Structure 1
Amino acid sequence: MSDIATKPDSIIAVERWNAFWAARDLEGMKRVAADDFIQWHATVRKNLTKDEEFAMLVNALKVMQIEFKAVRLTAMDNDTVLQQCLGDISIDGAGTRTDVPFAMVFHTRGQLVTRCDEYMDGMSLPPIDFTPKD
């Protein structure tokens, strides 16, 4: 029997999500996002559906660059993964912030992401608003 531990599907899902994000490959991210995917943003305190999230990202990435670094993934119970990282964020005309602390809780089903709850201090971000209005 092998001593090599295999990664849980939850970690594989988040690693795939992050790899597509780093490549700015929204179509790849959509393939990792379940049909019932929900994104929660601390800055607007609103759940976005898969369609709303990706529509927002299309617009955001036209003027924004975000690089996540020092990424640490911790598999938790119930197919969830805690991601802790720092973000360097640059927004055309609004400025740049470095080392913004982020925490994300990813919920998964198999190797798909079903929900991402994203936490950061919105006041530490350059001013920007791409989220859909009610």
Structure 2
Amino acid sequence: MTDTLARPDSIITVERWNACWGNRDLEGMKAIAADDFIQWHATVRKNLTKDEEFAMLVEALKVMQIEFKDIRLTAMGGDAVLQECLGDIVIEGAGTRTDVPFAMVFHTRGQQITRCDEYMDGMSLPPINFTPTD
């Protein structure tokens, strides 16, 4: 049995976020995201606010499925967590990619996520564009 008291809140928070993502529970993710949450996407090199991120996710999940697997979490200083994983991505009408490497750096405050910097090779994705434009 794992002693949850020995794990930092930052790791527990990211595990909760991942569980919500796995269940496509956007409302659960919104509750974990702080009001000042920022999502940075390497593919578009843009910070998205909480509202922009979740609006994009609603649209994206209409035609896209992403399953993260082989998730490794590493607690870092300053309540940050490094997540390394692989993603299997299916986009209706655009194709499928498997084992796409992802790295995410989550920043937490208490039991909320304040920022997620997501790194992956955008060229490894099927063509898709759900992010807001300037």
CA distance in 1, matches of 2:4, 2:106: 25
Aligned ranges 1:79-118 → 2 under 5 Å: 79-118=79-118
Distance 1:93-1:49 versus aligned 2 partners, 3 A rule: same
Query: How big is the shift at 1:50?
Result: 0.1
CA distance in 1, matches of 2:4, 2:20: 26
**Please, which runs of 5 or more residues in structure 1 have no aligned partner?**
none
CA distance in 1, matches of 2:92, 2:119: 23
CA distance in 2, matches of 1:109, 1:31: 13
Question: Given the two structures, how large is their TM-score scaled by the length of structure 1?
Answer: 0.96
Distance 1:5-1:13 versus aligned 2 partners, 3 A rule: closer
SS at match of 2:105: strand
Runs of at least 4 residues off by over 6 Å = none
Aligned residue in 2 for 1:17: 17
Alignment-mate amino acid for residue 18 of structure 1 = N
SS at match of 1:97: strand
Query: How big is the shift at 1:6?
Result: 1.8
Distance 1:4-1:31 versus aligned 2 partners, 3 A rule: closer
The total of aligned residue pairs comes to: 132
CA distance in 1, matches of 2:111, 2:74: 15
**Please, which runs of 5 or more residues in structure 2 have no aligned partner?**
none
